[in-house]
Amino acid sequence: MVKQYQKHAKMLQALSHPVRLQILDILSRSPACVCDLVFQTRQRQAYISQHLMLLREAGMVRSTRLGVKNQYELAHPEEMTNLLNCLLEVQQPKPSDQGATKMSNTNNNAVWHGIPRDQIDWHPAIVAERCVGCGLCVTSCGRGVYAFDYEANKPAIVAPQMCMVGCTTCATICLQDAVEFPSRGYIRQVIRQNKLLTQSKNLLKENRQKYDVVARQAVNA
Ligand code: SF4
Ligand code: SF4
């Protein structure tokens, strides 16, 4: 009799850790490889792999081999997403409360193609061991994403949501390869899930005067 509840007990045990909940929450938005999860949770790879193994054993996550990487996704997306929504809704402050606790320069009301910016996890992360403190990322970003920690001689990310979605300029110009971003796969998933190609085609149609090459050339002549 007790046996039939063992599977459920294992699942509840798997849910009882904040990092595993965070991993499930991330996977409920899109599949991800370990490096995406490491980036988004800011945890070590070995630590994330350990939690992923537990989630797999509990039957909550499955993985698929994609080239040299494993891609992880929820084993039962609909059920898991509903369960997470119930759990996280209870735990998290309402959107109206969140604004008050955020920093004033995080652009709280920003949207990207209609998606609230705070739902898109796109911003740089600094690999401190590789960074030599030249400050080029800080002085090149025109959006105020960075400040400089003069004590530590390292850049600091102070306004992550000001980073332009899809932009990787600071990573490109860092000679030490010390700036990292989520994978291109992550942002492409956001584009697909939100049907942004259709939206873009509609915008082109509706705003011909704004985008038309002939009209633009005439303005710039
Ligand atoms: S450009 Fe690279 S090395 Fe220079 S401060 Fe930024 S992260 Fe560090
Ligand atoms: S990617 Fe572009 S917008 Fe984002 S922090 Fe780097 S330079 Fe700034």
- Mean pLDDT, consecutive 10-residue segments, the chain of 221 residues? 76 87 84 81 85 92 83 84 71 38 44 89 95 96 91 94 92 96 92 93 88 78 67
Closest ligand (CA of 143) = 2
**Ligand 2 centroid to 123 CA: how many Å?**
7
Token pair recorded at residue 126: 């600094």
Closest ligand (CA of 130) = 1
| 8 Å CB contact between 174 and 159 | no
Residue 131 pLDDT: 97
Q: How far apart are CA 202 and CA 200, in angstroms?
A: 5
Which CATH class name applies to 117-182? alpha beta
Residue 106 pLDDT: 45
Q: How far apart are CA 120 and CA 45, in angstroms?
A: 22
Do 2-92 and 117-182 fold alike per CATH? no
Pocket test for ligand 2, best of 164, 180, 187 (most atoms within 8 A of CB): 164
Phi, psi of 148 (to 5 degrees): -120, 130
Report which ligand 1 atom has the smallest distance to the Cα of 173: 1
Q: Report which of 29, 79, 24, 30 is spatially closest to residue 52, judged by C-alpha positions.
A: 24
166 DSSP 8-state letter: T
Residue 83 pLDDT: 79
Concatenating the DSSP letter of every residue in 44-96 gives -HHHHHHHHHHHHHTTSEEEEEETTEEEEEESSHHHHHHHHHHHHHHHSPPHH
Domain definitions of the chain by residue range: 2-92, 117-182, 187-220
**Ligand 2 centroid to 169 CA: how many Å?**
6
Token pair recorded at residue 103: 């920093």
Token pair recorded at residue 15: 């849910």
- Which amino acid is located at 201 in the chain? K
Residue 9 pLDDT: 83
**Ligand 2 centroid to 141 CA: how many Å?**
5
Token pair recorded at residue 211: 């985008």
Q: Show the beta-strand stretches assigned E in 115-208.
A: 115-116, 125-126, 146-149, 154-157, 179-180
0.75 surpassed by pTM: no
- Which amino acid is located at 44 in the chain? R
- The architecture that CATH gives domain 2-92 is Orthogonal Bundle (1.10)
**Ligand 1 centroid to 149 CA: how many Å?**
12
Residue 101 pLDDT: 30
3-class secondary-structure state, position 20? helix
